[in-house]
Structure formats: C-alpha cells, structure tokens
Amino acid sequence: MRIEIDARPRSLTSCNCSICRRLAALWAYYTRREARLVTPEDALSAYRWNDKLIEFYHCNTCGCATHYESVDKNPESRFVVNARCMPDDAIAGVVVRRFDGASTWKYLD
Amino acid sequence: MTTRQPSREHEGGCHCGAIGFVYRTALEPRDWPIRACQCTFCRAHGGLTTSDPAGSLAFVERVPGALNRYRFGKKITDFLICRRCGAYVGATMQAEDKGFGIVNVRALPSVFEQLPAPQPMDYESEGRTERTARRGQRWTPVVAA
C-alpha cells in the first residue's frame, strides 16, 4: 500500500473510541488535495459503521489500517492517514495528541 | 506480587463482531504481562499482546470468511485479522500438535484501562526453534470455541 502526502504531519491524534483503539491508529489530518492513495483501491477494504459518514480503509493482505476518508469525496474533504504506516523519520518528534472519542469528544491535553 | 484468583473469562473481539475470542486467566488484569513487540507488523498495528500459559484461549469466526490468517517472516504464526473491520485480534501457532496463542488487548475494551504499561519487546534475533520454545512456555493454550 502506498499513500503520497504533500507534507510531514504537524501533529498526530491518538483516539480512544471503539474503532480507533482497536486499530491503534495515529491519525495525520489531510484533505484529498494534500494526500492521495497511489495503490489501486482494490488492494484495500473499506469499513463503515455508526453514522457511516466516514470509511476506514485497511490492507487486504496484512490488515494494517491505512487511512480514513469522508464518504462525501471532494478536494477539500478529509483524507486522514495512519502515521503508523509512515517511515520513522517522517514522524520523529511530531507531537501525539490524545483525543477522547470514547466519551467527551475533546482533546485530553 | 502476582495475584492468583479463580480463573475469569474475558470476552473480546474485532470491532464489527465477526471475530471473537474468550480468554480465560486467573491473573488479575493489573498483573497481566503487556508486550509491545517491535516487529514491523506489530508496530504498524500498534499491537499490545498478553498471554498466560496457565489459562486458555478460544477464537471464534462468527461470520464465515471474515478471518484473515496472515503469515509473514518465518511463516510459523497466524496473525488473526478481521477482513471486514481490519482489527488485529491475536495470533496463534502450532507446536507439536498443540496450539498456542496471544490476544491483542486493544480488542479487550472491558479491561484495557486497568492494564499495566506495555513493555517493548525485540525478538528479531530469535531462530525458529528458540521462538517456538519461548511461545510454548509463555503463550496461552488454544482450546476449541
């Protein structure tokens, strides 16, 4: 799986909601203009739940969570990349913020 | 000091419910060993795993075809991933006709907040025999669901 991003993430978000905790994702926020999937989309599976407004993608082979996207796709819509798939030097020193997606829907720092 | 109580059942699984497991252990969650393996797979998945050689573990595939058994590296281990929601729930291996396994505690929300801090682990230098022997001693016996 390969995703191109235009810039290193400024911060990463670790969320404790039921899906993010399981995926252990460190989310880096981009728009579709700033980040794009290079790999053919059929290498990945999409998962929707709850309000079904976003799709979580993972690799069909190894299961790694790659990114999530708004279902409604336009150049300014969200394309949020899992930094655990990025090389170490891309995220070295980048601050990780904890988001309480499980209850208060606020950052904990 | 490790506390041994009567064995308790902990139910966990993936996000969409297609893959579940029952982990039985007498260890209190605060005493569970939590391992953060530093291999490429575990780092990409943020895997945090536990096991108890005195306990038992049963995985169940509730939606036929949902269980992806992914192998890499030495190819002696099945990493169990849900094809629908992508969650990594645990791993199993066979050694001398016996099954052993671990669970990813990220798939165990009922106890997650009570668990101790994870210990980083590096098994890169292990050979196949050494790895199998370690897991035989440390991993949880797998039983039928």
pLDDT tens for each residue of B36-55? 999 999 999 999 999 999 99
To the nearest whole Å, the CA of B65 is away from the closest chain A CA by: 13
Q: Which chain A residues are Cβ-neighbours of B49 within 8 angstroms?
A: none
- pLDDT at position B96, please? 85
Round to whole Å and give the CA distance between B28 and B115: 9
Mutation site for B-interface testing, chosen from A16, A62, A66, A88 by largest number of B Cβ within 10 Å: A62
Question: B14-29 in b/e burial notation, b at 16+ Cβ within 10 A?
Answer: bbbebbbbbbbbebeb
Q: Do B83 and A84 touch (CB under 8 A)?
A: no
Q: Which chain A residues are Cβ-neighbours of B39 within 8 angstroms?
A: none
Q: What is the 3-state secondary structure (H, E, C) of chain B?
A: CCCEEEEEEEEEECCCCCEEEEEEEEECHHHCCCEEECCHHHHHHCCCEECCCCCEEEEEECCCCCEEEECCCCCCCEEEEECCCCCEEEEEEEECCEEEEEEEHHHCCCCHHHCCCCEEECCCCCCHHHHHHHHHHHCEEECCC
- pLDDT at position B4, please? 60
Query: What's the ipTM?
Result: 0.94
- Cβ atoms within 10 Å of A88's Cβ, excluding its own: 7
Q: Do B112 and A65 touch (CB under 8 A)?
A: no
Q: Residue A86 — pLDDT band, cuts 50, 70, 90?
A: very high
**Overall average pLDDT of the A86-99 stretch:** 95
A24 backbone dihedrals φ, ψ, rounded to 5°: 60, 25
Q: How far is CA A74 from the centre of its chain?
A: 17
Only one residue has tokens 């969570």, namely A65
pTM equals: 0.95
**Overall average pLDDT of the A38-67 stretch:** 95
B114 backbone dihedrals φ, ψ, rounded to 5°: -90, -5
To the nearest whole Å, the CA of B42 is away from the closest chain A CA by: 10
Dihedral angle computed from the Cα positions of residues A18, A22, A23 and A28, in that order, rounded to the nearest 10 degrees: 50
**Overall average pLDDT of the A76-85 stretch:** 96
- pLDDT at position A54, please? 94
The strand order across the sheet containing B19-27 reads B4-13, B19-27, B56-61
Q: Do A21 and B106 touch (CB under 8 A)?
A: yes
Both tokens of B87, joined, read 């969650």
- pLDDT at position A93, please? 95
Q: Residue B137 — pLDDT band, cuts 50, 70, 90?
A: very high
Which B-chain residues 85-144 have CB contacts (< 8 A) with chain A?
Answer: 85-88, 106-107, 109, 112
- pLDDT at position B3, please? 57
Q: Do A49 and B15 touch (CB under 8 A)?
A: yes
**Overall average pLDDT of the B62-69 stretch:** 98
The chain-wide mean pLDDT, for chain A, equals 95
